[in-house]
Structure 1
């Protein structure tokens, strides 16, 4: 009988528990694009109303979004990203870059332009030295995970 090994404890696993489903990250995407109302988010994500309501509650409970009443009768709310939610946008940009490269290399569905005027090409860098976080011997994940 094979020995069971405890799962590796890490922040990636913990984060995926909170936002590791399709709908949560798409909610963050839509809020970052300025769509703050429930019906707008349903329209732009394609999520069913019950799934979206559950994701919004979860994201609010963990502090990624905040809800604000904008109409009292009937009660209507809009949703905004918190600072923690805005930080997830860096993850979305990196996911988009990967998708553009590996899923849509000939025709990326959306391109962002940086304030400098050029097409945005997000890169993960070290906050201390500014060097890129690259695969290989100097990978933050270690050489064992740096191989293809």
Structure 2
């Protein structure tokens, strides 16, 4: 297995695990929303039995599963998805920009910093690097529509 495929498989597994964690939060209920940093508003809405927290969290999980599919597609594990290179660049960028969230919060709203922002940013930095490194390494192989991986 080539190194780019390894990075992309790792990236896909990480996104799939994040998606599963989001589904677990829905099942875990209000205390899980609090523990995973969703905010008191989401936790209280879940306590009241509102659908909004579950729908938002399920939507995030669905996006993360799609992102995992893009990594697996680029690694050659599933058929080629549309706009593969563009998608991988966008996914890398979103993860890496999210990793910068503590810096933005410190500048804009210093009172809102919490341990959640630090540890979650460190996690998504790893995700973003896996996508970016794998994408960069696979870039020549991923060019051209209809080419076999």
TM-score above 0.5, yes or no: no
TM-score (norm 2): 0.29
TM-score (norm. length: structure 1): 0.29
The structure richer in strand per residue is 1
1 or 2, which has the higher helix percentage?
A: 2
Larger Rg: 1
